[in-house]
Amino acid sequence: MTGDREITACIEADYRDAELTAADRAMLDYSAKLTREPWEMTEDDLRLLRARGFSDRGILDIVQVVAYYAYVNRIADGLGVSLESYWAEGKEDYD
């Protein structure tokens, strides 16, 4: 989606090492925390996103995408569904 293979590869490896805008970094930090430690979310997390320019609607969109991704992965894991060939065989074949 970025059109920049280098930044995409860096984000895939570890977004924390990528050169991102403050808003993108805040969004990804929030998403990672919501994924890994949802019980640790506080109002401060929302304040930081708002300070980086996200509206309540934008924050809702972030939460919905993160939650949907977690939901679909748990269904796939619970049913023993294999990765799509895109991920299993290597993305280079599909670029």
Domain boundary assignment for the chain:
20-94
On whether the CB atoms of residues 18 and 4 are closer than 8 A, the answer is no
Average pLDDT over residues 18-47: 95
Residue-averaged pLDDT of the chain: 86
CB 49: neighbour CB atoms within 10 A?
20
Pairwise pLDDT comparison (21 vs 18), residue with the higher score: 21
Average pLDDT over residues 58-64: 97
Q: Which of 69, 70, 31 is nearest to 49 (CA)?
A: 31
> According to the model, what pLDDT value does residue 31 have?
96
> According to the model, what pLDDT value does residue 94 have?
46
Q: Which of 73, 77, 61 is nearest to 27 (CA)?
A: 61
Average pLDDT over residues 4-8: 79
* Calpha distance 71→65 (Å, rounded): 10
pTM of the model: 0.77
Instruction: Name the one residue in this structure whose structure tokens are 């799509």.
Output: 84
Average pLDDT over residues 51-58: 97
| CATH number at 20-94 | 1.20.1290.10
Is residue 56 very low, low, confident or very high in pLDDT (cuts 50, 70, 90)?
A: very high
On whether the CB atoms of residues 10 and 18 are closer than 8 A, the answer is yes
